[in-house]
Each structure stands twice: as structure tokens, then as C-alpha cells.
Amino acid sequence: MLPQEQASKMIRDNTVKMWMITSVQIEKAQKYMHNKEDVKLKELKKNEKYIDSYELKLYFDCENFLALFSPVAIDLRFVLSTLHISYDLERIGDMARKIVQTLKTCTTLTEDMIALFEIDRMFDVCSDSLEKVLNAYETINSDIARQVLVQDAILNEINKLATSRAVTAIQKNPQDAEIYLNLTSVTRRLERLGDHIKNIAEEIIFYVEADVLKHKKSRDFLEDNLL
Amino acid sequence: MAKKVEVSNLNLRYGDFHALKNINLSIEERSVTALIGPSGCGKSTFIRCLNRMNDLVDHVTIDGSVLLEGEDIYRKGIDIDNLRYRVGMVFQKPNPFPKSIFENVAYGLRVNGVKDKSFIENKVRESLVKTALWDEVKDDLKKSAIDLSGGQQQRLCIARSLAVEPTMLLMDEPTSALDPISTAKIEDLIFELKKQYTIVIVTHNMQQAARVSDVTAFFYIGELIETDTTSKIFTNPKQEKTQNYITGRFG
């Protein structure tokens, strides 16, 4: 294997490892929501340190790759997209931790409350989307990444409903107001988490097709003002 | 931008060997076009078609047309010496004549019958200034060109080409024998010269092609596989062969 191929394989392998740990963080956050005894918070913290370390490692490895191999075309897009993906994975890890922190304060959380806000469905969509984008990255397949763009709409929709659901629930059970408000915060974070997964999907499409999807609406402005 | 060169259906054979296959390429005025591709793909053969250097090779047959400023340079009766004044060439290895710096630059003018001393002096100075060599050699114009460094010799050769007021410059791997500092000076020079001249450069150095050229053309086994703006070629080439070559997957 040529040095460039070795270096790119190392970057790819480490990205996948970071991805796996991030997926575990989401699973653990979901488990924690149902049963706080099932998840060791120490383990979550340790995983987060791994995620941060992988982000740093990928940053240095990508910097070296750019300096040593001056990549072009698909190789350049691979490094650029990997840098962005590692940033998004780190943010996803952060979101998972923040969700756990929020849930920690919800001592009287019930399954009915979780069901009311469709939080399990949001977690499931996030986990499924993250798995799909990983598959898309590993197989260099932008079609799979495109499926995720559609799934993000589900998260947005559920998050939009959260406030009105909380208002109704608080009116019925004002003693649980704090929990309901915390659950809206959880749905908001899951929606943000979905945005990061969508960013990753867009990066994979850029990597494979050289098509930049982000800020599509600003494209005309860019062409008129900055190009 | 106006078209400087229009190459249509160009074929070149060395005996039975088909070295260039149906090449079609437009070169815009005051631009830098880089020709890239693996060894033996026809880049140098192509560049030599642009000032009919291949005429000097035995058993060469050429068909198709090459229009320079609208004029077919392969038509019968064309003045080939004049063509080569108009289309200067710089080679891989600097090739100064064993003469003084001044005489190297003045050579083309003298051969062309120019006798006006002050005109020649002005042209020599102007050419050396354009190649950023003047400040380095102005006090040593009588010094032998052979004593210059490799990078200076190459810039001298470019100055020699410029002295006869070409309209286009062909550069066949002009920096492959130079160190990085001399290479950078030549690249800076190319950037300056393109304001006035049309430049075609053959290079094996992908980064150099990316740095200096506006348009890149990728050749492979005698065919022109792809030509596009340099930024497009190095970020998102259309052809898989181009991508494989520029990313080092073959060649």
C-alpha cells in the first residue's frame, strides 16, 4: 500500500471508530431516559473523552495528509469532508451528553411523558440516520446519504409539536411543568443532533459527487456578490 | 477572451506510431494552459506542433489544422522561421549559448538582421527586466551565460525568447531541472508574463500545473482526455482517467 493510501486508510478507520463511539453515546442516552440505572455516567464521560481525542487526532492527521500529499479531486474532498464530519460527530457526542444531563434532573419522568413527546421515535430516527451515513461514508455511496436528508424532516416536525404538547400537558398537570419543559429541551437537542447528522450526509454527498448542498438558498447571493 | 490557437482534428504519426490522435483544443489569449499526463502521452509532441518543431523529426506525418491567430501554421508557404519567432520555446534544460549574457538575449535580434545598437540594448534590457533577471546581472552583462545558476540560465533563455517579441511562449517542463527557489521564480515569472503572452506549459508537477495555469489539458496515450479550467480539473474532473491520474492512482 502506498503511503498516501495508508494515511487515508488511517483517517478513514479512525473516523469510523469515532462514529461508533458517538452512536453508542446516543444509544446510552436513550437507555438512560428509560432507566437511569442501566447507564454508568462515568462510561459516558469516558466515551466523550475518546470522541474529543479522535476529533483532535483526525485534525492532526488531516493536516498532515494535506501537507504531505497535496491531495486533489476526490482525495481532497475526502479530507475536507472528514474534517467537517469529525466536527459534527463531536457535536453529536456533546448533544448526547447534554440530553443525559437534562434527563438527570427529571426524577419523576414516566413512559407516558416520553411517549407524548415521541422522544423514542426521535432517538430511533437519529440512530438510524447515523448508521446510514456511516454506511454511506464507508461505501462511498451518496444515495444512502440522500435518504438521511429526508429523515431529518421527521425530527423537525416532532420538535415543532413539542411546545404545544408541553403547554397542553402543563395545563393538565402543572406539578410536572419542569419535566415537560425539560422534555422540550430534549426534543430541541435531538432536532439539533439531527441537523448535525444532516450536515454529515451533505459532506458525504460533497465527497462523492463534489456537489455542495449547504446554504443552497444563498447560492445566488454568493454568485452575485462574492464570485 | 480571444482565441489564440485553435487546434482541430490534429493527428501526428512517427512512422506507424500514432502519437497524437484527433486532438481538438482551443487556447485563449493571455492565458496559461498546462499540459499534463504520464510520460509518452504526447504532451511534448503536441506542444512542438504549435511552432512546427516536429518538422525537424524524420518520418513525421501531421494532419488536421493548427490556427495561430486565425492563420493555419501548416499551410504551404508559411515562413517557419517567422513562426518560431512568434512562438518562442523554453526547454527542460536551460540551453544558453556559450556567449555573454548580453549576446544570448541579443542573439535572435542579430540573426533577424537587426543592427540598431540602441534598439538591441533596449530590447536586451527590457527582456531581462521582464524575466526579473536585470537586477541580478545588469553589472555583468559581458559575463558568460554558462556561469549563471540553473535558475538564472532558464530565465535567461526565457529572456532570449522574449527579445524577438513572440506572441506565445511554449515551455516544456521548464523547471524540472531547477531547485524550489528557482522554480518559484519561474512560476512568478509565468504569472507576470501571462499579462502579455499566451503560455503553454508541459509539466509533470501537478502542483505546478495547479499553481500557474488557468486551463489544464490532460493527455493519455496520444489522446486529449479532458480539458477544463484548472480549478475544475483539480477539484472535480469529469473523466475518471483524469481523476485517477491527478490523484496518483496511475501514471
Domains and CATH numbers, chain B: 3-97+166-246 (3.40.50.300)
Task: Judge whether A63 lies within some domain.
Answer: yes
Q: In the numeric block, which cell numbers belong to residue A122?
A: 426521535
Residue A185, in any domain of the structure: yes
For residue A223, being part of any structural domain is answered with no
pLDDT of residue A212: 82
Q: Specify the number of domains making up chain A.
A: 1
CATH number where A151 lies = 1.20.58.220
Query: Using CA atoms, how far apart are residues A210 and B153, in angstroms rounded to an integer?
Result: 42
Across the interface, whether the CB atoms of A75 and B247 are under 8 A apart is answered yes
Q: What is the dihedral of CA A122, A123, A124, A125, to 10 degrees?
A: 50
CA distance B193 to B212: 11
Q: Is B215 left (phi over 0), alpha (psi -120 to 50) or beta?
A: beta
Q: Nearest-CA distance from A26 to chain B in Å? A: 35
pLDDT of residue A3: 82
Its ipTM equals: 0.73
The CA distance from B35 to B44, in Å, is: 9
Q: Is residue A220 part of a domain?
A: no
Beta strands B198-202 and B168-172, pairing class: parallel
Closest alpha carbon to A208 in A135, A130, A131: A135
Whole-number pLDDT of residue B227: 98
Q: Residue B98 in 3-state DSSP?
A: coil
Give the domain range for residue A128: 3-214
Tell me how close the Cα of B244 comes to any Cα of chain A, in angstroms.
9
**Hey, what's the cell of A103?**
434527563
For B67-92, write each residue's pLDDT tens digit: 999 999 999 999 999 999 999 999 98
Residue B5, CA atoms < 13 Å, CB-side half-sphere: 30
Which positions ≥6 away from B128 have C-beta within 8 Å? B101, B105, B134, B137, B138, B156, B159
Q: Choose, out of A2, A8, A65, A74, the residue to mutate when testing the contact with B (most B CBs < 10 Å).
A: A74
Contacts of B236 in chain A (CB under 8 A): 73, 77, 210
- What residue of B is the nearest CA neighbor of A75? B247
A219 found inside a domain: no
Report d(CA B55, CA B61) in Å as an integer. 9
227 residues of chain A, pLDDT tens digit each: 778 889 999 999 999 999 999 999 999 999 999 998 888 899 999 999 999 999 999 999 999 999 999 999 999 999 999 999 999 999 999 999 999 999 999 888 999 999 999 999 999 999 999 999 999 999 999 999 999 998 999 999 999 999 999 999 999 999 999 999 999 999 999 999 999 999 999 999 999 998 887 777 777 777 777 76
User: Residue B142's closest CA among B121, B161, B163, B159?
Assistant: B121
Mean pLDDT, chain B, rounded, equals 94
A2: closest CA of chain B, how far (Å): 10
Percentage of chain B exceeding pLDDT 70: 99
In a domain, A224, yes or no: no
Position A221 in a domain: no
Q: Could you tell me if residue A222 is inside a domain?
A: no
